Structure 1
């Protein structure tokens, strides 16, 4: 039986890594991300995506530049965002950046647009967090018009109006694939899921490695945002039935396949980096996800009746 069409990728929030206990500096981490995109392609993955953050320990604040560097180091893998904070970006500039990236990469660019869960970009770029929803809705409407229409006349509350504006360089016909990032229930297909996790040769190695580096990050977030404080029992519950995908290739593959069936997914991205995770563990996750997990997931999904198979991601 042929494999079910299903995309599997990785995404990064540009979190700094360690190498033999030494914390890499920002420039080293930027270069590491480019190497990891090339490794993801060599391992057979479909997509490499980068987030957008403006806090210490993250180097993904200039995502289009990072993705352009990755485009020159790769040939096949699709390159996107996870997510672009549309609310504090200018849709005109965003269009120009990603039409340029799409040209540089030979048509491999894509976008996930979101409102932001980390909100440092609002004061940084002079936006009021009170306008959180209105900013996103207005800018989404403008971006989609720019993506679909040759010339645009437009006015809104948060930027200068446009009159008969034609942007260059032009996106390809129909625009680049664009998803909306949400933090709740899935919308109509195609639906993709992004979750955190680590793949190692054994369940024990993966579980202990991820706990060592994930626990302090979530502890800090709990204090900042009022999340639950991480406990070992809660962690193990997340591994069994929650949103963490941590384990051997077989364990992770079975959990991804189960989720894909339940939510009718067309794509799954694993966020493989967490603050100060050793670069060797990051690389091993990418390799195992592409070479062992992805083929196994497709094998498991290929056994499903056609009526419940996941949909096909946009190309």
Structure 2
């Protein structure tokens, strides 16, 4: 059972002061958070690609490389790269470079992306949303599998027996499929035999995603892949503090503000405190609370959905850096040991009947 943090490097207005920090300041904070995550024993840190004023993570590989030279063990991944609007050659090169700098700790998670700002920015048409992803994933996997590539498609110029460099330390470089919950994505990832990550966010019940994991495993088994070698991750918003009430109250203001920005953009109903409290409940998708509460929810997800990696996404919106750093400390020193011990017990029970 692997545990880690993910972030979109948000630079939203502070709900208390109304001030917005610079992109540069937030980027430097994230590097400090990655260093601390390793120090307290977490396994992985992920950064998601975005291209808008309230996010500073347009280039996850660069930020992760800055942290790579200050760490030695923690794995460094995208969560996700928007492959549909990117060049798979450049994406692979960036993460192979990160893999070299980190001495084999890079991972690449790709997806279609729930934000679409990158499409007009890089000259792509949203009507090609599905088809272009499948084509570019095919090219990316070709590069993963072979130093020299011959490939042709509809949306990108062909490649004729050309080498793609640098090559990564890891053979092959890990490539994950990230999904917001599409059953088709689960089946596709399983058929390809790729690690699979679910974004379990919003007003959902995490245990409902057990069906997606089952679809993924069934598709992988039909395709002849070894299920024991296919990790499954989940990613959910959350926050940890010394007490349940402190965590709930600290995380609410930025979550409320950020969620309502997205609701307005998408034409969804406003987000209320009652929605938040429901999501913080044992059945909800927010992993907010004291260490025991958060650990219990992660263990429940592991046991009943089948995930082998959990990424806690924080902060959601802008929060004081000191609060985020303390949450990371608690995650590594108090939540992680509880989860790992329970996961080991569950595995032992399964192996021994």
TM-score by length of 2: 0.83
Cα shift at 1:301: 2.1
2:240 aligned with 1:245: no
Match of 1:195 in 2: 236
Cα shift at 1:239: 1.0
- Match of residue 234, structure 1, among 275, 283, 286: 275
Q: Which has the higher contact order (CA 8 A, sep 6+)?
A: 1
2:71 aligned with 1:88: no
Whole-Å Cα distance in 1 between the matches of residues 46 and 15 of structure 2?
Answer: 23
The residue correspondences of 1:91-130 to structure 2 (distance < 5 A) are 91-130=88-127
Match of 2:256 in 1: 215
Match of 1:312 in 2: none
Whole-Å Cα distance in 2 between the matches of residues 307 and 150 of structure 1?
Answer: 43
2:6 aligned with 1:11: yes
Match of 1:271 in 2: 313
Which stretch shifts more, 162-171 or 106-115? 162-171
- Describe the superposition over 1:41-88 as per-residue Cα deviations: whole angstroms up to 9, x where unpaired: 111100011010111121100111111101011111110011010111
Whole-Å Cα distance in 1 between the matches of residues 327 and 95 of structure 2?
Answer: 28
Three-state SS of the structure 2 residue aligned to 1:193 is strand
Which stretch shifts more, 182-191 or 209-218? 182-191
Report how many residues are paired. 304
Three-state SS of the structure 2 residue aligned to 1:181 is strand
Check conservation: 2:240, 2:247, Cα contact below 8 A. yes
Three-state SS of the structure 2 residue aligned to 1:110 is strand
Whole-Å Cα distance in 1 between the matches of residues 15 and 324 of structure 2?
Answer: 11
Cα shift at 1:306: 4.0
Whole-Å Cα distance in 2 between the matches of residues 246 and 226 of structure 1?
Answer: 26
Match of 1:137 in 2: 134
Whole-Å Cα distance in 1 between the matches of residues 337 and 289 of structure 2?
Answer: 16
Whole-Å Cα distance in 1 between the matches of residues 269 and 55 of structure 2?
Answer: 23
- Match of residue 22, structure 2, among 22, 25, 32: 25
Cα shift at 1:305: 4.9
Match of 2:149 in 1: 152
Whole-Å Cα distance in 2 between the matches of residues 62 and 179 of structure 1?
Answer: 18
Three-state SS of the structure 2 residue aligned to 1:198 is strand
Whole-Å Cα distance in 2 between the matches of residues 57 and 294 of structure 1?
Answer: 30
Match of 2:198 in 1: none
The residue correspondences of 1:293-312 to structure 2 (distance < 5 A) are 293-306=335-348, 308=350
Cα shift at 1:307: 6.6
2:327 aligned with 1:285: yes
Q: Which runs of 5+ in 1 are unaligned?
A: 1-5, 310-315
Whole-Å Cα distance in 2 between the matches of residues 151 and 37 of structure 1?
Answer: 34
2:114 aligned with 1:73: no
Three-state SS of the structure 2 residue aligned to 1:169 is coil
Check conservation: 2:84, 2:136, Cα contact below 8 A. yes
Check 1:305–1:160 CA distance in 2 against 1; reply closer, same or farther (3 A cut): closer
Whole-Å Cα distance in 2 between the matches of residues 197 and 142 of structure 1?
Answer: 35
Three-state SS of the structure 2 residue aligned to 1:299 is helix
Whole-Å Cα distance in 1 between the matches of residues 350 and 305 of structure 2?
Answer: 10
Check conservation: 1:19, 1:278, Cα contact below 8 A. no
Whole-Å Cα distance in 2 between the matches of residues 81 and 170 of structure 1?
Answer: 18
Which stretch shifts more, 222-231 or 277-286? 222-231
Check conservation: 1:52, 1:61, Cα contact below 8 A. yes
Whole-Å Cα distance in 2 between the matches of residues 246 and 66 of structure 1?
Answer: 26
> What root-mean-square deviation, in Å, do the aligned CA atoms of Structure 1 and Structure 2 show?
1.7
